Amino acid sequence: MSLGEPMANTPARAVSRNWNLPNLLTYGRVAAVPLVVAFLFWPTEAWARWTALAIYAAAAITDFLDGYLARVWAQQSSLGRMLDPIADKLLVAAALLMLVADKTIAGWSLWAAIVILCREILVSGLREYLAGLHVPVPVTAVAKWKTAAQMVALGFLIAGPSGEAVLPGSIAIGTVLLWIAAILTLYTGWDYMKASYDHVGSD
């Protein structure tokens, strides 16, 4: 390496990694959260429901794209690995809370929302704890199916009554998928707990 060539871990190189396309997609997903919430403040307005759904759908697509592009282009970064699950959880939690507030999610289905939120908090805390021990917590195939069911469920529910006008029964479809996601959430949460049991308390 010549004297004028910057080292791979220089601050300038680190800054450029933080602003690569995969990370920009993750930043966009974080920015989408307040927008989805804002439009869901008008739950009876069709235009607001469809706008919230469009923003949510775009954010959900970036959830797949950012990780895929980071791997394919070898642009993975510590910031991206940290921020990606946070962005996912913010989007899901905000959507669930707004849908509960406007009673799209109501009755017994509230338990599905509670299970999903509690699991997200539990796994987040577990991941942070194990990261301090340098123990990886890989995402399982069942967890990916859970995420897919959860994302599609929330899409149907965000459309809400406006979606019913286009596809009758769409809220029921979203509710069923939400329960499927909640059941998979319990399974994957227990799976993560078992996988980390030997490491808890090891410090």
Q: In this predicted structure, which of 5-19, 25-39, 43-57, 177-191 has the lowest mean pLDDT? A: 5-19
In a domain, 150, yes or no: yes
Mean predicted confidence (pLDDT) in 143-158: 92
CA nearest to 119, candidates 171, 57, 191, 61: 191
For residue range 110-138, list pLDDT tens digits in order. Answer: 999 999 998 888 877 776 666 666 666 66
Q: What pLDDT is attached to residue 195?
A: 64
Q: What is the count of structural domains for the chain? A: 1
CA atoms within 13 A on the CB side of 6: 8
Domain span at 38? 11-196
In a domain, 187, yes or no: yes
Name the average pLDDT for the chain.
Answer: 82
- How many other C-beta atoms can be found within 10 angstroms of the C-beta atom of residue 184? 21
pLDDT bracket for residue 108 (50, 70, 90): very high
Report the share of the chain in percent with pLDDT over 90.
45
More confident residue, 122 or 155: 155
What tokens does 123 get? 């796994």
Q: What pLDDT is attached to residue 144?
A: 83
Which residue bears the tokens 């509670």?
A: 114
In a domain, 203, yes or no: no
Determine the angle formed by the axes of helices 78-101 and 109-132, rounding to 10 degrees.
160
For residue range 66-91, list pLDDT tens digits in order. Answer: 666 767 666 666 666 677 778 888 99
Burial (Cβ within 10 Å: 0-12, 13-18, ≥19) of residue 141: exposed
Mean predicted confidence (pLDDT) in 45-62: 94
Kindly report the three-state secondary structure assignment for every residue of 59-100: HHHHHHHHHHHHHHCCCCCHHHHHHHHHHHHHHHHHHHHHHH
> Which H or E element spans position 121?
helix 109-132
Q: For residue 65, is it left (φ>0), alpha (ψ between -120 and 50) or beta?
A: alpha
In a domain, 202, yes or no: no
Residue 95 has pLDDT above 80, yes or no: yes
Mean predicted confidence (pLDDT) in 91-111: 95
φ and ψ at 43, to 5 degrees?
-65, -20
Mean predicted confidence (pLDDT) in 97-113: 95
In a domain, 123, yes or no: yes
In a domain, 128, yes or no: yes
Cα–Cα distance measured from residue 46 to residue 53, given in angstroms and rounded to the nearest whole number: 11
Q: How far is CA 1 from CA 4, 6, 14, 39, 160, in A?
A: 8, 9, 18, 53, 59
Mean predicted confidence (pLDDT) in 33-50: 94
Residue 26 has pLDDT above 50, yes or no: yes
Identify the CATH number of the domain in which residue 43 sits.
1.20.120.1760
Q: What pLDDT is attached to residue 170?
A: 95
In a domain, 156, yes or no: yes
Residue 171 has pLDDT above 90, yes or no: yes
Q: Who contacts 32 (Cβ-Cβ below 8 Å, separation ≥6)?
A: 55, 56, 58, 59, 91
Cα–Cα distance measured from residue 151 to residue 97, given in angstroms and rounded to the nearest whole number: 14
pLDDT bracket for residue 3 (50, 70, 90): very low
pLDDT bracket for residue 177 (50, 70, 90): very high
In a domain, 39, yes or no: yes
